[in-house]
């Protein structure tokens, strides 16, 4: 692999400690740039041969027979619910500790999101928290692999009525492993991934669905392209297909492109490199902060976790500052900490969908804080983060 362009690798030293360290940053090198040039020179930049190749390579990586790429993980979640027959009047359970896309995808179908509580150690839903929300209207559960922690979906499935489907929101979890050691995405559930700018595999934007059902695969391929029975590349390479493109149901403009896919193919080959860097950064944080009283997400150093995020819970009872004040002060020191996430059930748009207290979610969301972690960070970046964190922490002890 050629030298990185404008990207720090783990062993490099930061030359200016005052530079802002974002919570997540993509790592691109010459290989991604050369792939882009190659595709641009080919004259075909829409969905075509690169997309097909990326889907096959990602399917192989995930150990799933089918992968459908789309323009975002939000679209992936929406289309997954749609092909499962989710409709107005149905209920779909999901955690409140998630990005708004999870709940929005439910609302797009006309169904009702129902928020469940989480385990404060894993930051994810549990079979018990889901069971407490099941009604005769429940048709699906969206499992969020929060931060990259792989939920035991097989255990969850055993606790659900047979008619309730599982959709996995794996936006954070590319590379994570279920408890049985298999890849997230290989469960047989419709599993949705994100390739947004800060994700473990980034193509700036984009998403994908892994699945095992050929009929659903065919339908998803059509729905992402207006409901057409053939896409532009098929019509280009097959004159007969260009004659009578048919539309059998209302579809959407949610396709991926070869400009993104060629980046994704390179990023996929670099996942082991990225995984190693993220684990080393996480290990540094864990070693330096384990005696402060902060709580870590369970298995944050294990194979079960992709370490897309490194989240901690502040012991706010010991501090003179609130979590929000802590975040602002660290950002003033150019440490790009973030909050993942403000709970959805506290937001005006979604508050009507939660009638009960979510005790664990509320506990977590008063304390949660994300430290910077990415494959573009150096050891010195990580040291600077925990040094500034510890300095502020000690200043804030009551």
Extended strands (E) in 96-223: 112-116, 138-144, 165-169, 190-194, 207-211
Question: Rounded to the nearest 10 degrees, how much is the dihedral formed by the CA atoms of 259, 264, 265, 269?
Answer: 150
CA distance 330 to 326: 6
Give the three-state DSSP class for 4: strand
CA distance 125 to 146: 9
CA distance 10 to 281: 9
Helices (H), ranges, the chain: 30-42, 49-62, 73-83, 100-108, 127-131, 153-158, 214-223, 232-237, 239-243, 258-269, 271-289, 323-332, 359-365, 379-396
CA distance 304 to 183: 9
Q: What residues does 322 pair with on adjacent strands?
A: none
Q: Tokens 């005696």 label which residue?
A: 291
CA distance 278 to 240: 49
* Tokens, residue 95: 């955690």
For 85-92, which contacts have Cβ atoms below 8 Å and span 24 or more sequence positions?
Answer: 85/139, 86/111, 86/139, 86/140, 87/111, 89/137, 90/137, 90/138, 90/139, 90/140, 91/135, 91/137, 91/138, 91/139, 92/138, 92/139, 92/140, 92/141, 92/142
110 closest CA partner among 130, 91, 137: 91
* Tokens, residue 38: 């190659």
75 in Cβ contact with 224 (< 8 Å): yes
Q: Is 155 part of the annotated catalytic residue set?
A: no
User: Buried b / exposed e across 138-166, counting CB within 10 Å, b at 16+?
Assistant: bbbbbbbbbbbbbbbbeebbeebeeebbb
Options 133, 177, 199, 321, the catalytic residue: 199
185's CB contacts (< 8 A; 6+ apart) are 62, 63, 64, 168, 170, 174, 191, 193, 210
Give me the active site residues, please.
Answer: 199
């Amino acid at each position: 692999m050629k030298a990185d362009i404008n990207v720090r690798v783990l062993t490099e030293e930061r030359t200016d400690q005052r530079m802002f360290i974002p919570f997540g940053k993509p790592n691109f090198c010459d290989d991604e740039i050369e792939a882009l040039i190659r595709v641009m020179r080919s004259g075909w930049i829409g969905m075509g041969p690169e997309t097909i190749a990326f889907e096959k390579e990602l399917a192989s990586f995930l150990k799933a027979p089918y992968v459908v790429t789309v323009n975002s993980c939000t679209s992936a979640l929406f289309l997954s619910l749609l092909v499962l027959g989710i409709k107005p009047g149905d209920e779909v359970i999901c955690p409140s500790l998630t990005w708004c896309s999870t709940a929005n995808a439910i609302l797009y179908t006309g169904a009702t999101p129902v928020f469940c509580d989480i385990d404060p150690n894993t930051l994810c839903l549990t079979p018990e928290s889901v069971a407490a929300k099941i009604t005769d209207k429940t048709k699906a559960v969206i499992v969020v692999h929060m931060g990259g922690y792989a939920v035991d979906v097989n255990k969850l499935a055993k606790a659900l009525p047979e008619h309730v489907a599982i959709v996995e929101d794996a936006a954070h979890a590319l590379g994570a492993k279920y408890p049985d050691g298999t890849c997230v995405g290989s469960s047989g559930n419709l599993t949705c991934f994100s390739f947004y700018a800060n994700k473990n595999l980034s193509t700036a934007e984009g998403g994908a669905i892994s699945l095992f059902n050929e009929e659903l695969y065919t339908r998803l391929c059509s729905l992402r392209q207006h409901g057409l029975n053939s896409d532009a590349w098929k019509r280009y390479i097959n004159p007969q297909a260009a004659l009578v493109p048919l539309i059998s149901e209302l579809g959407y403009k949610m396709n991926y492109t070869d400009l993104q896919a060629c980046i994704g193919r390179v990023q996929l080959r670099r996942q082991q490199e990225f995984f190693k860097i993220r684990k080393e950064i996480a290990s540094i944080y864990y070693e330096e902060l384990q005696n402060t009283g902060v709580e870590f997400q369970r298995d944050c150093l294990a194979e079960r976790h992709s370490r897309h995020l490194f989240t901690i819970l502040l012991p706010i009872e010991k501090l003179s500052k609130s979590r929000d004040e802590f975040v602002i002060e660290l950002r003033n020191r150019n440490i790009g900490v973030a909050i993942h996430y403000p709970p959805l059930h506290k937001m005006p748009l979604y508050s009507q969908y939660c009638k009960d207290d979510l005790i664990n979610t509320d506990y977590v969301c008063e304390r949660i804080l994300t430290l910077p972690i990415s494959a573009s960070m150096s050891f010195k970046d990580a040291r600077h983060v925990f040094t500034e964190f510890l300095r502020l922490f000690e200043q804030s002890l009551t």
